Structure 1
């Protein structure tokens, strides 16, 4: 914890706080620390228990994802209110865990929109890598009905799923584009030059174009 405190950078904290993250540790330095520590499940649990955001990010990097239990992961996600901790936990830990599919189903239906957003993130992963068994038209029905008025984190996750369906599944692309055009979610999102807009129709068309150019 003392070493993490020594990595604190007020400028990094100011940038991170704009995104809802209450830490000031440069992530490259955090990753270097994790690389030095290597996998340490016991230390990871102790770091997580501190509740400190930087410590929890480090815990995610040095834990053993496949060794965490279903209920333990569920509890960790519900505690992870920092966007960066939430995202890293889902992407670096839950996706590698044998309970990921069960948690995907449970979280997607959760009344807490932050928890539900994790379920949608896992669903997006399946749309891209393992769509067999998913009701893709049904997912589009839910997105069409609920995305427009969903809270920000959940809306972002549903929008990603919408774009992924349109990108990966040509038979549903026209409907995905139509939903995106009508709902206009993230249409005016500020996008730096050279980056792809998160507005689903623009995102879908750009990624399909890249695939066709290969």
Structure 2
């Protein structure tokens, strides 16, 4: 399948309703409005294709770029390529999907560390989203490092741009559900941080209360673990 063929297929799968929904979520780039159900079907069919992923990303089309994050080969995503792609981000939807891809690469920790320091909103938000992914999936991360991230979140969350605040709040939650030691530290920080204000635009999305979300998730994990015994 050529990139041109796939772009035509994506266009045929788009709907006006989805375009309106995505627009409310800040997707301003050229888009077809393809549902995630259809995108995941395409991912299942294509599997991994780095060449096709790069062509889709280069198209500039939002749906094509979402699919690119699903079929790209994490092993082929070099630091240079990741840095190039992150500079193309301009909405939270694509940023979240891209962060998942980055989280599966060998340079994920380095990218997160670099990007969270960025003054560019989408890059910094992506960095924190990558950190959240690592907190939930990388057993090699030391508690001391994640504790330092909690301290940084507490110290700076209210002064960072809108979407960075949202991503930092998500990272605090992800770190807090990792283990009991970090849970206590994250809960204490969340109490001191208080309410995190995020403008979600014309959507019904709400910013989760970190402490409540951590407690709920940990309780769910405990019940799930108990049921397996």
TM-score (norm 1): 0.84
Residue 170 in 1 paired to residue 176 in 2?
no
Shift of 1:133: 6.4
- Separation in 2 of the partners of 1:182 and 1:38? 45
Q: 1:87 to 1:110 in 2, by over 3 A?
A: same
Q: 1:153 to 1:161 in 2, by over 3 A?
A: same
8 A contact 1:44–1:60 mirrored in 2: yes
Q: 1:84 to 1:98 in 2, by over 3 A?
A: same
8 A contact 1:104–1:123 mirrored in 2: yes
Equivalences for 1:19-98 in 2 at 5 Å? Answer: 19-22=25-28, 23=31, 24-91=33-100, 93-98=101-106
Could you list the runs of 5+ residues in structure 1 that have no partner in the other structure? 191-195
The residue aligned with 1:202 is: 212
8 A contact 2:143–2:182 mirrored in 1: no
Deviations 1:146-188 (A, max 9, x none): 1123222211121122223332242343442233233333489
Greater relative contact order (CA < 8 Å, ≥ 6 in sequence) = 2
DSSP-derived class of the 1:118 partner = helix
Shift of 1:74: 0.8
CA RMSD of the aligned region, Å?
2.5
Deviations 1:13-58 (A, max 9, x none): 1111111124311121122233333332222211111111111112
The residue aligned with 1:193 is: none
Q: 1:140 to 1:40 in 2, by over 3 A?
A: closer
Query: How many residues are aligned here?
Result: 208
The residue aligned with 1:126 is: 134
- Separation in 2 of the partners of 1:189 and 1:209? 29
Could you list the runs of 5+ residues in structure 2 that have no partner in the other structure? 1-6, 201-205
Equivalences for 1:150-161 in 2 at 5 Å? Answer: 150-161=160-171
- Separation in 2 of the partners of 1:51 and 1:117? 20
Residue 16 in 1 paired to residue 22 in 2?
yes
TM-score (norm 2): 0.79
